Amino acid sequence: MSIWEYANPKKFIATTTPVLPWVMWAAAVTLVVGLVWGFFFTPDDYRQGSTVKIFYLHVPAAMMAINIWVMMLVTSLIWLIRRHHVSALAAKAAGPIGIVMTLIALFTGAVWGQPIWGTWWVWDPRLTSFLILFLFYLGYMALWTAIEDDDTAADLTSVLCIVGSVFAVLSRYAVNFWNQGLHQGASLSLDAEENVADVFWYPALVCIAGFILLFVALVILRTHTEIRLRRARALETRMRA
Amino acid sequence: MMPDLGKYVVEVLSAYAVSIVLLLGLVWISVRAARKARETLAAVEARKEKRDG
């Protein structure tokens, strides 16, 4: 069986519908466990004090903001190359989730930065590229709503997604590229010597898993919505003809 | 039960409050849109079936 069979809207809905409630519940349970663990049952950091608890929201949200754009890039490329509608609709469905993740990362970063860096915002390479990524998310969603023809909208938003990927990569690696600015390098690393202490690391991993599961659940649900709305529009057009 | 957040109580609580509101809002909007889309498609399909006999 080929993976491209799932690009058929009916097959996609039939396959993902039974999985969806399980993913939703897994996301809810994992997020609640991770955030409760991080908020109530972890100690303060010796330098950051209780602001370290913001880490359980900021890091997963920032990771998702960047990786959702990468997912949109992959599905946009599939649309441009193979013209599978489900892939274009999945990219569209992921956009608002990415915007929310970017907003959470920007807000939690600002409220953490004020007491620790002494400023809400600084035009540091990572923060600036992240803000531009947020603007790309807004532009991406605006472009989808501005163009009436679905296929043209999918084409143009796919091109925008490819261009915006530069900033998704920059916001992840800006610290390494320029080696300057206030933002530190990766907080979570597989290298045990660079990593945060286990007492912060384990609840952070659970929160990251929760954010990933929430994204999977929402992107499936929202793709179903887009498929159904497009089908309804197509039927309406056919009946009018 | 509530941990002592010291002098950063406003920063930590506002970070959690805003993030949770945004996440719950996103879930609520997505679920509501999904329900509306199902109803819209069902209505259009019913109209089509009625028209086609």
The pLDDT of residue A186 is 60
The pLDDT of residue A197 is 82
Q: Residue A107: helix, strand or coil by DSSP?
A: helix
> Token match 């990569």: residue?
A169
Residues of A in contact with B21 (CB under 8 A): none
The pLDDT of residue A129 is 87
Model confidence pLDDT, tens digit, residues A176-218: 666 666 666 666 555 555 667 888 899 999 999 999 999 999 9
Nearest alpha-carbon partner for A104 in A51, A56, A62: A62
User: Which of A20-29, A121-130, A165-174 has the largest mean confidence?
Assistant: A20-29
Separation of alpha carbons A49 and A226, rounded Å = 44
pLDDT at B43 over 60: yes
ipTM of the complex: 0.94
Residues of A in contact with B16 (CB under 8 A): 35, 39, 53, 57
Q: Which of A16, A97, A104 to mutate to test the interface with B (most CBs of B within 10 A)?
A: A104
Which residue in the set A40, A111, A225 is minimally distant from B15, CB to CB?
A111
* Residue B40: its H or E element: helix B9-52
pLDDT confidence bin for A167, thresholds 50/70/90: confident
Q: How far from chain centre, in Å, is Cα A1?
A: 29
Q: Where are the domains of chain A?
A: 20-240
Which residue in the set B3, B6, B26 is minimally distant from A97, CB to CB?
B26
- Chain B's closest residue to A226, CA to CA, is B37
The pLDDT of residue A219 is 98
Separation of alpha carbons A151 and A194, rounded Å = 46
What's the average model confidence in pLDDT over A61-69? 96
A20-240 — its CATH code? 1.20.120
Interface of A with B in 8-37 (CB under 8 A): 31, 35
Choose between A225 and A178: higher pLDDT: A225
Structure tokens at B26: 């996103």
Model pTM score: 0.92
- Chain B's closest residue to A229, CA to CA, is B37
